[in-house]
Amino acid sequence: MEHVVARVGAGTIPLSVLIEFISQKVYTDLMRLIDLLPSKTDLEKKIEIATFFSRTQHLFVRLEALVKWSNSASKVDKKFLTS
């Protein structure tokens, strides 16, 4: 991801890269959760799963807000959002 930021410009990240990064983070977090759960009690499992879903939902709500903002912002360079 660093090479994309350097190529595009400081402070600018293509939306496709951001979506890919978030998807990879959620996948990695889910795999860690799957590895962690067998050693937990039922109550701890429920708490861990609820925490994971809450964080993931929050992350995607923020992404949705960013996408909605980018669709209405006149100053956003559309070529960076779709590349």
pLDDT at 20: 96
In-domain check, residue 41: yes
Tell me the pLDDT tens digit for each residue of 4-61. Answer: 544 556 677 888 899 999 999 999 999 999 999 999 999 999 999 999 999 999 999 9
Q: Which domain holds residue 29?
A: 17-82
The answer to whether 15 and 62 have CB atoms below 8 angstroms apart is no
Token pair for 45: 């499992």
In-domain check, residue 35: yes
Contacts of 10 (CB under 8 A, 6+ apart): none
The answer to whether 38 and 49 have CB atoms below 8 angstroms apart is no
pLDDT at 71: 79
In-domain check, residue 49: yes
In-domain check, residue 1: no
In-domain check, residue 69: yes
Look up the pTM and report it.
0.70
- Please name the amino acid found at residue 29: D
The answer to whether 4 and 13 have CB atoms below 8 angstroms apart is yes
Domain count, the chain: 1
In angstroms, the CA 1 to CA 21 distance is 8
In-domain check, residue 68: yes
